[in-house]
Structure 1
Amino acid sequence: MSHDGVGPRAVMRSVAFLTAGALAAPALAACSADDEQKSKPVAAQDVAPAARALVAEGGTLRWAVDAVPETLNTFQADAGATTTRIAGAVLPSLFRLDAQGRPQRDPDFLESAKVVSTEPKQVVVYRLNQQAVWSDGREIGADDFAAQWRALAGKDNAYWTARNAGYDRIEKVERGANNLEVKVTFAKPYADWRSLFSPLYPKDVTGTPDSFNDAARRGLKVTAGPFSLAKVDRKGGEVTLGRNPRWWGRPAKLSQIVLVAVPLDQRAAALADGKVDMAEVNPEDAERITRAARDKGSKPLQGPSATPSGATGVPGAEQQQALRGFVIRKSLEPAYTQLALNGSRGPLTDERVRRAIARALDRTELAGLVLKPLGLPAVPVGSHLALAGQDAYQDNSGSLGKQDTAQAQALLTEAGWVPGGTVKEEPKKKKGAAGPEGHKAEHGDGTGDDGAYIVGEDNKPPAQHDPRDHANKPADEQAGRRLDGELQQEPGRRPGGAPGAYAPKGTAAPGGAASGVLAKDGKALQLRFVLPSGPGSKTLRTVGDRIARMLQKVGIRTEITDVPDDSYFKDHVASGDYDLALYSWPATAFPATDARPIFAKPVPAADGSLSVEQNYTRVGTDQVDQLFDQAIATLDEGEERDLVRKADARIWATAASIPLYQRPQLTATRTDLANAGSFGFETPVYEDMGYLKKGAKPSPRAS
């Protein structure tokens, strides 16, 4: 998601009406000429590009993944990042993402696709590549499109689908002049029609509920891509993809791609032992690999924090020697880490308090903590709905305002939180020795029994932590490392530091609250900051601690609580059991469709609960919903982009989700592996991956 993020599908937010003043933000004016120019990605992809003529025929690429997927059907709820990776190699995708995160027609499958009519209804005509066939020899055609539409339209409850966005707007799918021409008529206009039928499954999978629900979970007998599914070994933790003999496009250079399940913290050892040839790694392992390869010209990661932690021990000379055959490919992942504010409870139901928190944060400093030590551009993310390089990107953070301590304090005062107010003592649960600062710690390490510690005006700041990231990949749609395939959560921490600097959960501030701590109605302004705990947590530790200190400066105390990785999203973030949390969302080429459930206004459910879809902050407005609805219904691409930008500006104004930085992407690859590494936005081109011929070197551009 590491736990720096969450996957594309999650949950949503709750109550909290927003004042009109919040939406009347100064940055909602028309875009300038500079804004209209297409932005560029903050960091380019790093994939060692090489012309196909320089790549040898054959060979096996062993590629580390989080886990063997529970299902091979990307439209099911438990599909993860590995499901998507397999589908990209063995199934048709009509549109692929380029290096700027923009959808582009894939000519191997699609000769053309365009809207041929808008009145009285939107009609799209697809013309398929005449050579495109399934692995059983049958041509890809209109029957496959129709079967997938019926399975995903949401009208037949026998199909267990996790999403039907877009398919539910289709009225009918018909054969055109022949089976290679597909005519799709929409009941309602749909701007993101390019998102549909990618991947496209054969009618053998989508034709019946049984094949869709069960058969496609364990295997795919019929495929159509440069590779086919050869073997799924769940016990051994491997998925083998072999060359597709019926592939009509450029032949795959590799004979096989083997996806090997390897935990993040074991990947350096797996690389050294020859078990894998490519793996996303955490910053600590990336530095070890860079140091090992330094004599071969590999550029080391920058900054003092790039030194490996002694806690993991120094690798043996033999292992370090083996790591010399690898290089680190660095880029930025198409996902961003945010600070989420739960607007459904406590002080954060007041929009002024949320806005004060946002104004207290120096987002440039927070981005620098994570990205500068890695030698990556430390640029804060300016949009919830797109990243730099994508058409919809525009820095709308001005809707909320820049970091300003005085303004943050003024907002808190306006909300009734004043310094020096009377704070009612809470009953003490246990006895403990008072530390030098007056806080009582129940354990020698300064933590409470639940791993909580409090950062407040009367506390010493937490000990500095190594600013490095990467263990997500919820980020793979999961609550484990990746949630929903593309988000990363990052584990929390066990704090260290001076004795007495931390207090267990429930510990009251000493004698009448230290000066500067804010109080209202007898309660101090204290927020519960929940973070996951486990391997790969150093980045979130650093960021969480720095956020706590920034809030401390304006009088807000934070109780930082560690929770187990496997319960972080389900039991805390998704259920609303937090005030502050850090997690990530992936970028999408279709924000009007994919981002709407993340920011939609919650609605009451039949049982009296609140339906929050994917919005963990539980804050929404009718105006944002309306902008999304307008964006998805227009067929004018410029108008859709402008509406998405306006929606983002108003999401900023609610101050429930504060984007911080784009996640780093660090991939270790063999030095002779070409056209593979940190892909950034771009969909991998599986048929071009391979090992360089002897004496060949990667070129600036691949032909």
Structure 2
Amino acid sequence: MAHVGVPRGTARKRRSVALLATGVLTIPVLAGCSSDSEGPTSVAAPQDIAPASRDRVTEGSTVTWAIDGVPATLNAFQADADSATTRITGALLPSLFPMDAKGEPRLNPDYLESAKVIGQEPKQVVLYKLNQQAVWSDGREIGAPDFVAQWRALSGKDSAFWTARNAGYERIEKIERGKDDLQVRVTFSKPYADWRSLFSPLYPKEVTGSPGTFNDGARTTLENTAGPFRLRSVNKPEGSVVLDRNPRWWGNEAKLESLVFRAVEPEDRTDALTEGAVDVADIDPATANSIALAARYRSGKGGPPAHGPGSDSTPASALRSWALAHGSDEEAAEAAQAAREETREAIAVYAAEQKSLNGFAVRKSLEPAYTQLALNGESGPLSDDRVRRAIARTLDRQELADAVLGPLGLPAKLPGSHLALAGQPGYKDSSGALGEQDTKEARALLADAGWTPGGAVRRTEDTKAGSEAEEKGRAGKAEQKEKDEKAEKTDKAEKAEKDDKASHDEGMYVVGDEKPGDGPAGDGEVTAQDKQAGGARGAYAPTGTPAPAPASVKDRLGKAGKPLSLRFVLPSGPGSQSLRTVGEKIVEMLDSIGITTQVTKVDDDSYFKDHIASGDYDLALYSWPATAYPATDGRPIFAKPEPASDGSLLVEQNYTRVGSDHIDQLFDRAVSELDANASRDLLKQADARIWAAAGSIPLYQRPQLVAVDKKLANVGAFGFAAPRYEDIGFTARQAAGSTANRKK
């Protein structure tokens, strides 16, 4: 699935992505009770990869894996690296501490014998002992020179290297060779808790040793690799990246002979699966439903098909169709025969499609990512934390999570942290710092901030007295009527007096900055339509008097004549339906307490770049991936924005523009704390303050749906864990005409 809305690259470590947005930006009562439990909790949904022991997986064959597009770069440290970059380099390059199924970093024995902190005073020192069999594809051993070259490229000290992140590398003081190149001694100038995040992926010194190869050479090819696969070709016109087994791989040999990554747009994946063009593909709920339907499809023998063309046929309609086709009316018979033939062909085509889709299973879990409601606190009503907290406490998060995850049969456990997900050791539900869903409390917060029902109604000079000439005219007319009243003392004069009074009252209250007819009357206030002397309401209102306001508008919140109206930006692409569904529900929830939202739908391609990153929104939905290193990765996402010399705002990755010095200090302390428990405690404190600031409201953990050939093992919805590419393969040898052979 393609998710719109996942932010990429800044000076600090960029989170791995999938925009996470859209369909991905795809994508679950406000703030449940805070849990005081410590330590890891059970994973909300386990991975679903059809696990099989290696002896059950056959040798050979090719698997084709759908990606959104051929990556712009194969250098994971550049700003335009994306999820495809991560997926491909994961099979080609060393990852020293990949995440396991619980979201913890685990030492990878294929590359390391050991790695540990051997000193903290006066400075932190980490000693890496490399696997003695580990070599690059050209035969050179992986060693200290590769670590040194990557540190120098990513340290930020040499601007010739165009890098999107240097977090952690800038803290390294020096790297030394141990007794040989297989021992690497890293000394830090400042303590760094997340040292395991460094050197993953590890590039050969041929890539990181010079700005030219780092900036340009590694974008399109990697000649030297060190994974179970090696790069054979990158073909952008055809939209494919082909990997072959690495003959110099020292670990378990890859079961597949080759692995092909093929660019397939999310909206085209159902067709790609049906046509046998791919074996593995992230999919949206609609495609998952199509696969589920295919499993229940039956042919029309003995009755109509279960669904699709011909499924609405009944015995009576079938008999009538046959009678027409064989009747004496030649014209009617010809038309009926043609219709029957068209139906037979449609059924045959649909049956073939269903048979193809029935060869796939939907592997499902929860992505290591959460979708959030972002509230832009840079300016306007949302710059007031009381308004942000009120919106957060209006939301029924459980309803939103159920809407996305319930139909998929996935657990809709509400995320309680911005910095970890259920199952990770640092997870703790800190949402209690904000409070539970409470409409009454939300209204009180808004009232305290000055936003009240009827607050959008104000008395204006223009409508109170009209023009100066009109006022004088009315005064003169009133004076004359008064004289007439005293002189005549008749019923007609008394009626004139009432009309005169009504003429003074008319038009005194209008909605500030609203067009006629759009504004509400405040509580206890009167409008022109309520003061008419007779006849149809409003029929005798003076020229320029606003038309009556809809009754429902009376509850709109406002302040000083200005309505509380927020711009809600949503992606419009076919893969973003889940986000739009959630957005519609949020609009209804806010409407229930009088907050107006103006929904703006924009192209997926521009959603993040032109709106989220630039701050052109009030409310938006996008996702953040989970990480094993929240002290490093969370800091730029929640850092307090700082003004730049040119007057702009430096937000790093904090696209809500909400932050505080205290939160920054807690992150800084956590990333320098080498005691894991102490570091986690500091992060929990930071998370509680992030909840209280209400700039980001986690709604649900995103669903992970992957269509996989039923014969494939060890691949699917991985959850937290990194794939073990060498274990992926078929549990039964492919027959002639199978996917791999059809592509050749």
TM range (shorter): 0.7 to 0.9
Deviation at 1:331, TM superposition (A): 0.4
Q: Choose which of 513, 518, 533 in structure 1 pairs with 2:557.
A: 518
Deviation at residue 412 of structure 1 after TM alignment = 0.6
Percent sequence identity over matched residues?
A: 62
Question: 4+ runs of 1 displaced by more than 4 Å?
Answer: 26-29
Could you tell me how far apart the structure 1 residues matched to 2:640 and 2:390 are? 22
Give TM-score scaled by structure 2 length.
Answer: 0.77
2:572 counterpart residue number = 533
After TM superposition, the structure 1 = structure 2 runs for residues 315-464 of structure 1, keeping only pairs within 5 Å, are 316-421=350-455, 422=457, 424-426=511-513
- Taking a change above 3 Å as real, the CA distance of residues 76 and 4 of structure 1, as seen in their structure-2 partners, is closer
Structure 2 CA distance for aligned equivalents of residues 327 and 236 of structure 1: 27
Separation in structure 1 between the aligned mates of residue 428 and residue 9 of structure 2, nearest angstrom: 23
Relative distance call for 1:350 and 1:624 in structure 2 (3 A) is same
**What's the counterpart of residue 686 of structure 1?**
725
The equivalent of 1:51 in structure 2 is 53
**Cα offsets for 1:213-267 (capped at 9, x unmatched):** 1110110010000000111011100000100000000000000110000000111
Please report how far the alpha carbon of residue 293 of structure 1 lies from its aligned counterpart in structure 2 after TM superposition: 2.3
Task: Please say if residues 58 and 729 of structure 2, whose CA atoms lie closer than 8 Å, have aligned partners that are also in contact.
Answer: yes
- Identify the match of residue 226 of structure 1 among 223, 228, 244: 228
Conserved in 1, the CA contact under 8 Å of 2:10 and 2:164? Answer: no
Equivalent residue for 2:606, pick from 560, 567, 583: 567
**Range moving further from structure 2, 639-648 or 2-11:** 2-11
Amino acid in the other structure paired with 1:100: K
3-state SS, counterpart of residue 95 of structure 1: coil
Tell me the equivalent position of 1:95.
97
Q: Which runs of 5+ in 2 are unaligned?
A: 13-30, 299-345, 459-510, 520-545, 735-744
State whether residues 8 and 586 of structure 1, in contact with CA within 8 Å, keep that contact through their aligned partners in structure 2: no
3-state DSSP of counterpart to 1:613: coil
1:27 deviates by 11
1:661 and 2:695 are equivalent in the alignment: no
Q: What SS does the aligned partner of 1:339 have?
A: strand
- Aligned letter for 1:589? A
CA distance in 2, matches of 1:289, 1:582: 28
Alignment partner of 1:661: what SS?
A: strand
Matches within 5 A, 1:186-197: 186-197=188-199
Mapped to 1, the partners of 2:578 and 2:376 lie a distance apart of 22
The CA deviation at 1:513 is 7.1
Equivalent positions of 1:99-114 (< 5 A) are 99-114=101-116
Higher relative contact order (CA 8 A, sep 6+): 1
Residue identity in the other structure for 2:275: D
Correspondent of 2:209 among 182, 207, 210: 207
Using the TM superposition, give the Cα deviation of residue 425 of structure 1 relative to its aligned residue in structure 2, in angstroms: 4.8
Q: Secondary structure at the match of 2:358?
A: helix
Shift of 1:693: 2.8
The whole-number CA distance in structure 2 between the counterparts of 1:509 and 1:124 is: 74
Secondary structure of 2:575's counterpart equals: coil
- Give the total of aligned pairs: 590
More deviation in 56-65 or 566-575? 566-575
Equivalents in 2 of 1:27, 1:659: separation in Å? 12
In 2, the alpha carbon distance for the partners of 1:664 and 1:329 equals 11
Q: Which has the higher helix share?
A: 2
C-alpha contact (below 8 Å) 2:8/2:79 kept by paired residues: no
Cα distance in 2 for residues equivalent to 1:173 and 1:88: 25
> What one-letter code is carried by the residue in structure 2 that aligns with 1:361?
L
Q: CA deviation at 1:284?
A: 0.4
CA distance in 1, matches of 2:72, 2:593: 46
Mapped contact 1:573–1:616 kept (Cα < 8 A)? yes
Question: Aligned letter for 1:418?
Answer: T
Secondary structure (helix, strand or coil) at the match of 2:157 reads coil
Kindly indicate whether the alpha-carbon contact (under 8 Å) linking 1:170 and 1:186 is maintained by their aligned counterparts in 2: yes
CA contact (8 A) 1:11 1:612 kept: no
Cα deviation digits, residues 622-675 of structure 1 (max 9, x gap): 010000000000100011111111111100000110000000000000000000
Task: Name 1:647's counterpart in structure 2.
Answer: 686
1:629 and 2:668 equivalent?
yes
Residues 535-565 of structure 1 deviation map (CA, whole Å, 9 limit, x = unaligned): 1122112111111111111111111111122
Check whether the contact 1:420–1:512 (CA below 8 A) recurs between aligned residues.
Answer: no
Give the equivalent residue in structure 2 for 1:6: 6
User: Displacement of 1:167 after TM fit?
Assistant: 0.3
Is 1:291 matched up with 2:293?
Answer: yes
C-alpha displacement at 1:516, in angstroms? 1.5
CA distance in 1, matches of 2:170, 2:547: 53
Amino acid at match of 2:705: L
Query: What TM-score comes out, normalization by structure 1 length?
Result: 0.81
Q: Is the 8 A contact 1:5 1:336 kept in 2?
A: no
- Residue correspondence of structure 1 range 80-91 to structure 2 within 5 A: 80-91=82-93
Number of the residue aligned with 1:448:
none
Whole-angstrom distance in 2 between the partners of 1:168 and 1:90: 26
Contact persistence 1:4–1:337 (CA under 8 A): no
> For 1:574-653, what aligned pairs fall within 5 Å after superposition?
574-653=613-692
Quote the Cα distance in structure 1 between the aligned partners of 2:11 and 2:589: 28
CA contact (8 A) 1:91 1:225 kept: yes
The one-letter amino acid paired with 2:635 is R
- Does residue 38 (structure 1) correspond to residue 40 (structure 2)? The answer is yes
Q: Who is 1:153 aligned against? A: 155
**1:512, distance to aligned residue in structure 2 (A):** 8.8
The 3 A distance-change label for structure 1 pair 513 and 271 is closer
Gaps of 5+ in 1: 13-25, 297-312, 429-433, 441-506, 696-703
C-alpha contact 1:114 1:126 (8 A) present in aligned 2:
yes
Distance 1:647 1:509, change over 3 A: farther
Residues 285 and 362 (structure 1 numbering): CA distance in 2 closer, same or farther, change over 3 Å? same
Q: Do 1:253 and 1:688's aligned partners in 2 also have CA atoms closer than 8 Å?
A: yes
Separation of aligned partners in 1, 2:448 and 2:514: 30
Whether contact under 8 Å (2:11, 2:166) holds in the other structure is no
* Inter-partner Cα distance in structure 1 for 2:226 and 2:179: 23
Structure 2 partner of 1:180? 182
Aligned twin of 1:450: none
Contact kept? 2:8, 2:80, Cα under 8 Å: no
Alignment partner, residue 68 of structure 1: 70
Tell which structure's C-alpha radius of gyration is larger. 2
Q: Deviations over 1:343-383 (max 9, x none)?
A: 01111111100000000001111100000000000111111
Amino acid in structure 2 at the alignment position of 1:186: F
Deviation at 1:5, TM superposition (A): 3.8
Rounded to whole Å, the distance in 2 between the matches of 1:439 and 1:238 is: 55
Measure how far apart 1:3 and its partner are.
Answer: 3.8
Q: What is the match of residue 15 of structure 1?
A: none
Paired amino acid for 1:617: T
CA spacing shift, 1:150–1:45, aligned 2, 3 Å: same
Structure 1 residue 7 displacement after superposition:
3.5
Contact 2:73/2:81, CA 8 A, preserved across alignment = yes
> Could you tell me whether the CA contact under 8 Å between 2:4 and 2:571 is conserved in 1?
no
Q: Cα offset for 1:10?
A: 6.6
Question: Given that residues 426 and 508 in structure 1 are in contact (C-alpha distance below 8 angstroms), is that contact kept between their aligned partners in structure 2?
Answer: no
Give the drift of 1:193. Answer: 0.0
CA distance in 2, matches of 1:83, 1:508: 59
CA distances 1:311-368 after superposition (whole Å, capped 9, x unpaired):
xx99833212211110100000111100000101111111100000000001111100
CA contact (8 A) 1:439 1:510 kept: yes
What SS does structure 2 have at the residue aligned with 1:658?
A: strand
**Mapped contact 2:7–2:653 kept (Cα < 8 A):** no
